[in-house]
Chain A
Amino acid sequence: MLIFSVFKTLTDQTVTVELKNDLSITGVLKSVDQFLNIRLDNIKVADEARHPHMMAVKNCFIRGSVVRYVQLPAEHVDTQLLEDATRRGTRKHCILARVT
């Protein structure tokens, strides 16, 4: 849920999604869902000469399960906020675990 929220805050920013088939796609993040499926606009595939398969593709939907990495724009990520939210999230989960 935390990671989903982070991606939502990065809507309309440029990201680079690296897939598990080594394809690397840069584009504007248009939307994300709870599976971390990603919609990218205005895409550009790295090393287009080797990968002409997507030449005519302007925007795409990437299944979350095939993502290896997403390179994020560092200036739009508040790392302090992330760490606090991660600590809060896990403590809540620990308390729940102890109660049940």
Chain B
Amino acid sequence: MSSLQGYVDRRVLLVLQDGRAIVGVLSGFDQKSNIVLADSKERVYSLDEGVEEIPLGLYLVKGEMICLVGELDEEVDKSVDLASIRAEPLPPIRYG
């Protein structure tokens, strides 16, 4: 599981199996890809209003719930006006 090594202390986006998107600082992981996220916030997408950020604090996410971990380009992320984005939430994983 060397693949998550480069993400420690980086701001990341977690996409979960149920379609939720959570951003935070990846403070640790293990061989089952369980992940500890600091200062995490869920980003709730909808077609009717802009993206809502819900603070979650320190989160431990079970490896089997994880779909994808993406490193955020902080410059790009800050330049995005979340309030102006209209999008459907990501679909959940089917037949996982």
Given contacts A57-B13, A63-B33, contact A33 B21 (CB under 8 A): no
Given B7, B43, B73, B92, which contacts A53 in the complex, CB threshold below 8 Å? B43
What residues of B have a CB within 8 angstroms of the CB of A87 in the complex?
Answer: none
From A20, A31, A52, A65, give the contact of B2 (CB < 8 A). Answer: A31
- What number of residue pairs across chains A and B have CB atoms under 8 A from each other? 93
Most buried by B among A19, A39, A53: A53
Say whether, besides A33-B3, A37-B1, A37-B33, A66 and B93 are in contact (CB < 8 Å): yes
CA A50 to CA B90, docked complex, whole Å:
9
Contact of A55 among B66, B74, B80, B92 (CB under 8 A): B80
Which residue in A20, A52, A61 is a CB contact (below 8 Å) of B7? A61
Q: Which residue of A lies closest to B82 (CB)?
A: A52
- A54 touches B (CB below 8 Å): yes
Contacts of A52 in B (CB 8 A): 85, 87
Q: Say whether A80 faces chain B, with CB atoms less than 8 Å apart.
A: no
Interface class of chain B by DSSP: mixed
- List residues 1-48 of chain A with CB under 8 A from any CB of chain B: 19-23, 31-33, 35, 37-39, 43
Instruction: Kindly list 7 other residue pairs between chains A and B, CB separation below 8 angstroms, not including A21-B67, A56-B74, A63-B66.
Output: A20-B96, A21-B15, A21-B93, A59-B70, A62-B67, A65-B64, A66-B17
Q: Which residues from chain B sit less than 8 Å from chain A, CB to CB?
A: 1-4, 7, 13, 15, 17, 19, 21, 33, 43, 45, 63-64, 66-74, 76-77, 80, 85, 87-88, 90-96
Interface residues of A (CB under 8 A from B): 19-23, 31-33, 35, 37-39, 43, 50-63, 65-66
